[in-house]
């Protein structure tokens, strides 16, 4: 076993970068720490501008051949990668749980199968990607999707491999080469993906994985003149820095950012269903960008809703995410836990009341929290916490509910609980959000567009929207005249 290989729950993981089909070590490393118990999993190669330049050069060199590869062959390789993921679901699950603290049972049953599905969906979508030719004054218009070039993909820590492959799969399917930069807090499954892709026959340089801090390697990637696409999922401040870096080269951007989504509960809703939806917002220890963290409940049912919510939330089990009975695991990092608690303590100091929670627990575990008596213009209502912290406000009218729901700088998602289909139609039409769920939550299909409005992002991912982003769309207009007669 190489000195650069660590063993995570019996799974060997290479801690070096993957550049041009080879493992590359850096002179410096950074520690990867498990949120489960605070232990150091291993030392990871810490990339700088040198590794960024090498990865972009490898992607640039590999691009012409990959772009010229037939759609059928690209799709075949993506399906082979999906096969490799499915063979290693158990290994990927335990490594990811160790690295980011999300529930092991969720990784096994939902997240890692979704990783494989990401590759299969875009492989199949590539083969169906077409636009009907159309006529203009007797001339034929033909629309095509041309590969754009090397693409930098910067991914978050809350669902590392699933969100990475959500970008990697369409970028590769489109014929682009990729430089993947995973979050420094969760680098391990990206390294395993490099192994799986190589075993599936993906040519060297088509997928490159580089690790490190955003300020040291991320900036070098996003400002590189040979990069033709940048896709980022993460925070608004980081997105602004990336946009500034990309501006010099006019590099197209796709940004999926934060949220402060509402859950609107009307008096005519099925309250048991509404409470189930509300408690579901503690999923992944509240580290979900789509989470409906602001409960807006009609005054006449607010007391009963709160009572049922407290009872239901009290049945959740918080602890080691590897346990089958665990519902809520740890938060990702001590810095994140400090941030979460800071939000809560400032809110309480300003007059908020913690109905449940309001404090940390042992290690990196924060108690599921619900705050009431919060003002609409307060920090806790306006800013993304990204932890198991929810707020509850009341409204008297439908118009007030819509006004409160839309009154933040975000617009990623919204959830609505009502028994009146006409009200649902009225309200959803007025909500500023990229995704709206009515009487459900987190029902997702890759055919649908995904992204946010306002400060929640730029662009959409999923379906043909991903291909539109990762490609240069071309329209070829052909005259019926001028052909030489070779008959």
Q: What is the DSSP string of 102-166?
A: --HHHIIIIIHHHHHHHHHHHHHHHHH-----EEETTEEEEEEEEE---EEEE--SSSHHHHHHH
In angstroms, the Cα distances linking 270 to 266, 285, 298, 299, 453 are 9, 25, 13, 15, 29
Both tokens assigned to 405: 């729901």
The DSSP element (H or E) to which 17 belongs, if any, is: strand 17-19
> Do 300 and 269 meet the contact criterion of CB atoms below 8 Å apart?
no
pLDDT for 278 equals 98
- Single pTM value for the model: 0.95
471 is catalytic: no
Q: What's the CA gap between 431 and 421, in Å, rounded?
A: 15
Q: Give the mean model confidence (pLDDT) for residues 452-477.
A: 95
> Per-residue pLDDT tens for 331-382?
999 999 999 999 999 999 999 999 999 998 888 999 999 999 999 999 999 9
Q: Is 485's pLDDT higher than 80?
A: no
Report pLDDT digits (tens) over 162-194: 999 999 999 999 999 999 999 999 999 999 999
Per-residue pLDDT at 487 exceeds 80: no
The CA–CA distances, whole Å, from 54 to 27, 45, 155, 251 equal: 15, 14, 20, 19
Q: What is the pLDDT of residue 232?
A: 96
What per-residue confidence (pLDDT) applies to 134?
95
What percent of the chain lies above the pLDDT cut of 90?
Answer: 96
Query: What is the per-residue DSSP string for 65-109?
Result: HHHHS-HHHHHHHHHHHHHHHHHTHHHHHHHHHHHH---HHHIII
**Percent of residues, the chain, with pLDDT higher than 70:** 99
- 417: β partners: 265
3-state secondary structure 441-472: CCCCCCCCCECCCHHHEECCECHHHHHHHHEE
Q: Tell me if residue 86 is catalytic.
A: no
Which tens digits make up the pLDDT trace of 437-458?
999 999 989 999 999 999 999 9
State how far the alpha carbon of 396 is from the alpha carbons of 275, 302, 382, 400, 404, in Å: 19, 11, 21, 7, 11
Q: 248: buried, middle or exposed (CB in 10 Å: 19+, 13-18, 0-12)? A: exposed
Please write the tens of the pLDDT for every residue from 241-274.
999 999 999 999 999 999 999 999 999 999 999 9
Tokens of residue 483, six digits: 């052909």
Q: Are 354 and 370 in contact (CB under 8 A)?
A: yes
pLDDT at 351: 96
For residue 376, what pLDDT is reported? 97
Q: Which pLDDT band, with edges at 50, 70 and 90, does 1 fall under? A: low
> What are 23-43's pLDDT values in tens digits?
999 999 999 999 999 999 999
Instruction: Give the residue-averaged pLDDT of 72-80.
Output: 98
264: helix, strand or coil: strand
Radius of gyration of the chain (CA): 24
Specify the CATH number of the domain 5-257+452-475.
Answer: 3.40.605.10
Q: In this structure, are strands 457-458 and 253-256 parallel, antiparallel, or unpaired?
A: antiparallel
Give residue 486's pLDDT band: very low, low, confident or very high (50, 70, 90).
low
Q: What is the CATH number of domain 262-438?
A: 3.40.309.10
Residues 42 and 6: beta-carbon distance below 8 Å: yes
pLDDT at 431 over 80: yes
Q: Is the pLDDT of residue 291 over 90?
A: yes
Tell me the per-residue pLDDT of 146-164, one tens digit each, with 9 for 90 and over.
999 999 999 999 999 999 9
Check residue 369 and give its pLDDT: 97
Inform me whether the pLDDT recorded for 481 exceeds 80.
yes
The domain segmentation of the chain, as residue ranges, is 5-257+452-475, 262-438
Q: Are 30 and 42 in contact (CB under 8 A)?
A: no
Q: How confident is the model at residue 320 (pLDDT cuts 50, 70, 90)?
A: very high
Give me the pLDDT at residue 314, please: 95
Contact 98, 6 (CB under 8 A): no
**The one catalytic residue among 289, 298, 384, 461:** 289
Count of C-beta atoms within a 10 Å radius of residue 483: 8
Mean per-residue pLDDT over the chain, rounded = 96
- Give the pLDDT of residue 482: 83
Residue in 256, 298, 384, 461 annotated catalytic: 256
Residue 315's nearest CA partner among 265, 271, 273, 280 is 280
- The token pair at 116 is 């494989």
């Amino acid at each position: 076993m190489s000195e650069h290989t660590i063993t995570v729950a019996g799974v060997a993981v290479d801690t070096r970068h993957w550049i041009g089909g080879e493992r590359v070590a850096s002179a410096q490393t950074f520690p990867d720490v498990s949120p489960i118990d605070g232990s150091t999993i291993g030392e990871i190669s810490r990339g700088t501008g040198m590794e960024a330049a090498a990865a972009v050069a490898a992607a640039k060199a590999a691009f012409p051949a990959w772009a010229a590869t037939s759609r059928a062959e690209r799709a075949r390789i993506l399906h082979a990668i999906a096969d490799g993921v499915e063979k290693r679901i158990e290994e990927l699950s335990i490594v990811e749980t160790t690295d980011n603290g999300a529930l092991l049972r969720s990784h096994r049953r939902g997240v890692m199968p979704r990783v494989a599905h990401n590759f299969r969906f875009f492989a199949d979508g590539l083969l169906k990607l077409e636009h009907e030719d159309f006529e203009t004054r007797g001339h034929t218009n033909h629309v095509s999707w041309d590969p754009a070039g090397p693409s930098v993909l910067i991914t978050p820590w809350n669902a590392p491999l699933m969100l990475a492959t959500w970008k990697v799969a369409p970028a590769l399917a489109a014929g682009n080469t990729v430089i993947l930069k995973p979050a420094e807090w969760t680098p391990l499954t990206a390294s395993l993906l490099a192994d799986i892709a190589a075993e599936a026959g993906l040519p060297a340089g088509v997928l490159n994985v580089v690790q490190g801090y955003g300020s040291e390697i991320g900036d070098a990637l996003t400002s590189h003149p040979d990069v033709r696409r940048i896709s980022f999922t993460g925070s608004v401040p980081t997105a602004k820095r990336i946009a500034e870096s990309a501006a010099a080269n006019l590099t197209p951007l796709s940004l999926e950012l934060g949220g402060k989504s509402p859950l609107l509960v009307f008096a005519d809703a099925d309250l048991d269903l509404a409470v189930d939806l509300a408690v579901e917002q503690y999923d992944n220890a509240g580290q979900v960008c789509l989470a409906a963290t602001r409960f807006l409940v009609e005054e006449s049912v607010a007391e009963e809703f709160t009572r049922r919510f407290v009872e239901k939330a009290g049945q959740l089990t918080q602890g080691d995410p590897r346990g089958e009975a665990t519902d809520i695991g740890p938060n990702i990092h001590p810095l994140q836990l400090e941030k979460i608690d800071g939000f809560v303590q400032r809110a309480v100091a300003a007059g908020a009341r913690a109905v449940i929670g309001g404090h940390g627990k042992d290690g990196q575990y924060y108690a599921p929290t619900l705050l009431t008596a919060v003002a609409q213009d307060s920090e806790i209502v306006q800013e993304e916490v990204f932890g198991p912290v929810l707020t509850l406000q009341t409204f008297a009218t439908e118009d007030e509910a819509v006004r409160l729901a839309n009154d933040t700088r975000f617009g990623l998602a919204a959830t609505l609980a009502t028994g009146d289909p006409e009200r649902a139609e009225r309200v959803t039409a007025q909500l500023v959000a990229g995704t709206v769920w009515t009487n459900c939550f987190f029902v997702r299909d890759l055919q649908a567009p995904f992204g946010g409005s306002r400060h929640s992002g730029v662009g959409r991912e999923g379906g043909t929207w991903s291909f539109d982003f990762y490609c240069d769309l071309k329209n070829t207009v052909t005259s019926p005249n001028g052909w030489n007669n070779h008959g």
